[in-house]
Structure 1
């Protein structure tokens, strides 16, 4: 039985979430708090397994409450976020503070919107209950001791992730040198959030990281993040690689899909790819990573110990798709080491 605490200043939201939770056989609503002060007492009294937390609350906002909670009593938290630019920025900040995941508030009327999100909310709560809560600062990849001795337009670094991936990707990206090959990234995230997340990655990295717009030429020293409502594919255009965005159906349950990006790289770049599948729920990216490995690409999966949710990497490892299984902090250096070997081989 998953004990859930709902924290939201809106009585309507508290009632709706409460009814959704109480109707599930594997969940127990232990409380519904209107503010951080009441929530603090309920956390102490009921020791919830999962907390749903509104970012925008009076007196003490959700971010401040989350910061204190994760330091004093780490608990899996699913944020309830708005789709505004300010809401997106606060949501990304909540993930940095240790929230497991978030559910965006719908654009439609509150009642209908929450009902439409019923299955999404329930799946996030169940996933959060099985996740590893970060009790300290997120694992940071050590700065690479090897600097790339070249700037190549032929090689591509590809990264896919889902739950827990925002901080995992940041750890890898922040450790790559400025003359790294182009990096393409698919992180499961809804529209309205990926632009803000790309800006966060850009700020912590030596790379220039942007949300992909479509038809860009991949350039060394640049990172390209799939937008939240489009699949991102990499295609070969003469001597260049370019980005193609598509608005097709979900693949492996997601849009953007890691499998779509990885599969496109099989034909476009093949053995010129170094790819990694990081923390995340489900199986998206596993088949694509296997196809890349079979084409001669160098493939890495994040290990179970450093994953927030060991789902996608676990499936990939089970398929034999990973050439290496590494802790998060070792992945960037493994990329660099492999790229140097590939470059040395090309000179033989």
Structure 2
């Protein structure tokens, strides 16, 4: 069965480009296009698409307003088509908070790897969106949370988190529960350049801890989280007795830059048994190898469980390859990490 897609954009050129790119491999069928949310509403009813691509700035109704209504009234996997601007990044992150599965930056002549790379990435995201559980997410009742008053971490401890599709909301769910005395947190989220600074700023607004976009040689401090910069790998190094961020632009790893595998592998080598790690929602297998190295080095490792993951891809591979000690729902992961840190301190 092919994946039925409705393309919603007021630009005839973008509608044509997206339709051509999506139809390339034969497993995705663009069943219709719409010029604005009013048109889209009627075509969603008539065509019942599996996935919708949605622009933000359109006539008659803002794409965000339409997305909000769609997710409340008829939850449907949505992939946003965004502009690479500061305003576009902010609106895209809001769209992900409202329930969009993922986003792509609008194709341009400057797109890294060219239009073919854009098309391949878009098709992969449509396939992941088609497998995502947006209806389950809309109806899911979260378990009551237990307040985490202290992380009680020993000196030298570190938390490492990796995610992809659905990770914006999953990472937020973990970080908002982390107390101010938590150890440094390093994060690899699959996201292009131009979006991670705003992502970190948005998390910083919502969380008690300080969240920043990682900079090269930035010291890792307690009560702080460091988001890998889009387009660069983030590693951890120990220099002059202090843990620091290291950024690099070397080749893609597991198909990504930043790569979760690259981050986790560095944590396994540098921090070893003083680390705790979590792999969250996402498509593909990035992170499984690195998390297995962390576990083999003595770190405590967690995977997000299938019931709470928007896309149970990366956590599934990590679980099947023996990289995780246990799986947990997203609302419990911060507590499990804190508990592991308590055990670390007791052992120390």
TM over 0.5: yes
Structure 1 residues 218, 137: closer, same or farther in 2, change over 3 A? farther
Secondary structure of 1:51's match?
strand
- Cα offset, 1:113, TM superposition: 6.1
Structure 1 residues 343, 141: closer, same or farther in 2, change over 3 A? farther
1:90 aligns with 2:82: no
Asked whether the equivalents of residues 182 and 223 of structure 1 are also in contact (C-alpha less than 8 Å), the reply is yes
1:199 aligns with 2:197: no
In 1, the alpha carbon distance for the partners of 2:92 and 2:314 equals 23
In 1, the alpha carbon distance for the partners of 2:144 and 2:107 equals 39
Which residue does 2:165 correspond to in 1? 163
Q: Which runs of 5+ in 2 are unaligned?
A: none
Secondary structure of 1:329's match?
helix
Question: Any idea what the Cα deviations from partners look like across 1:47-82, whole Å, max 9, x if unmatched?
Answer: 100101111111211111101100110101110000
1:287 aligns with 2:289: yes
- Cα offset, 1:144, TM superposition: 4.5
Which residue does 1:297 correspond to in 2? 299
Structure 1 residues 177, 141: closer, same or farther in 2, change over 3 A? farther
Question: Any idea what the Cα deviations from partners look like across 1:130-188, whole Å, max 9, x if unmatched?
Answer: 11115538887865434227464411011000000010000000001011111100000
1:56 aligns with 2:75: no
Q: TM-score, normalised by structure 2?
A: 0.95
Structure 1 residues 14, 213: closer, same or farther in 2, change over 3 A? same
Structure 1 residues 220, 137: closer, same or farther in 2, change over 3 A? farther
In 2, the alpha carbon distance for the partners of 1:101 and 1:203 equals 21
In 2, the alpha carbon distance for the partners of 1:25 and 1:288 equals 34
- RMSD of equivalent CA atoms: 1.9
Asked whether the equivalents of residues 145 and 331 of structure 2 are also in contact (C-alpha less than 8 Å), the reply is no
Q: What stretches of structure 1 move > 4 A for 4+ residues in a row? A: 112-116, 137-144, 149-152
Secondary structure of 1:209's match?
strand
Q: Which runs of 5+ in 1 are unaligned?
A: none
Q: TM-score, normalised by structure 1?
A: 0.95
Structure 1 residues 166, 141: closer, same or farther in 2, change over 3 A? farther
Pairing 1:148-187 to 2, within 5 Å after superposition:
148=150, 150=152, 152-187=154-189
Q: How many residue pairs were aligned?
A: 345
In 2, the alpha carbon distance for the partners of 1:179 and 1:206 equals 10
In 1, the alpha carbon distance for the partners of 2:57 and 2:148 equals 44
Which residue does 1:335 correspond to in 2? 337
Structure 1 residues 150, 116: closer, same or farther in 2, change over 3 A? closer
In 2, the alpha carbon distance for the partners of 1:149 and 1:6 equals 46
